Amino acid sequence: MNIIQVTVVYALPEIQYIREVKIKLGSTVKDAILASNLLNLINNISFYHNRIGIYNKIVHLKSKIKDGDRIEIYRNLTIDPREWRRKNIFRSNKNLKIY
């Protein structure tokens, strides 16, 4: 039986969870996430609500993994990126001094 090693990652603003997982060749993204035990450790991760990627490319849970893959569990956005930029531009213009 061939064994591969992958990394499963979930990052919050204040902490990063990084788990190295050894798993059999032919396993899926879902298998690796389950083996990482992150679902039991962090309450707000869900297969149904969080997107999953490998090296910043969205993948399906049934996608096969390869040795050395970095499986990333993405957080849901709390604010629309366009709205966030608008607010930050307003804040930066507030501090702008014109002479």
pLDDT of 33-84, one tens digit each?
999 999 888 877 877 788 999 999 999 999 999 999 999 999 877 777 788 7
First-to-last C-alpha distance (Å) of the chain: 72
pLDDT of residue 99: 43
pLDDT band at 85 (very low <50, low <70, confident <90, very high): confident
Does position 94 have pLDDT exceeding 50, yes or no?
Answer: yes
Average pLDDT over residues 4-10: 97
Structural domains in the chain?
A: 3-94 (3.10.20.30)
The larger pLDDT score, comparing residue 99 to residue 30, is at 30
